[in-house]
Amino acid sequence: MTNSDLKSFLDEKVELYNNPTFIESDPIQIPHLFSLKEDIEIAGFLSATISWGNRKMIIKNAHQMMDLMGNSPYDFVMSHSENNLERLESFVHRTFNGQDFNCFIRSLKHIYRNHNGMESVFAKYQESNSMQKSISEFKKIFFEISHQKRTEKHVSDPLNGSAAKRLHMMLRWFCRQDNKGVDLGIWKTISPSLLSCPLDVHSGNVARKLGLLIRNQNDAKALNELDLKLRELDPNDPVKYDFALFGLGVFEGF
> Exposed, middle or buried, 243 (CB in 10 Å: 0-12/13-18/19+)?
buried
What's the CA gap between 60 and 227, in Å, rounded? 31
Quick: pLDDT tens for 187-196.
Answer: 999 999 999 9
pLDDT at 1 over 80: no
**What pLDDT is attached to residue 85?**
94
Strand partners of residue 92: 97
pLDDT at 20 over 90: yes
pLDDT at 19 over 80: yes
**What is residue 194's DSSP assignment?**
G
pTM of the model: 0.96
- Mean residue pLDDT across the chain: 96
Helix 132-142 / helix 98-114 crossing angle, nearest 10 deg = 100
Amino acid at 170: M
Q: Read off the pLDDT of each residue in 61-86 and give the average, rounded to a whole number.
A: 96
**What pLDDT is attached to residue 124?**
97
**How does 108-140 read in b/e, with b if 16+ C-beta sit within 10 Å?**
bbbbbeeeebbbebbbebbeeebbbebbbbbbe
Q: Read off the pLDDT of each residue in 138-150 and give the average, rounded to a whole number.
A: 96
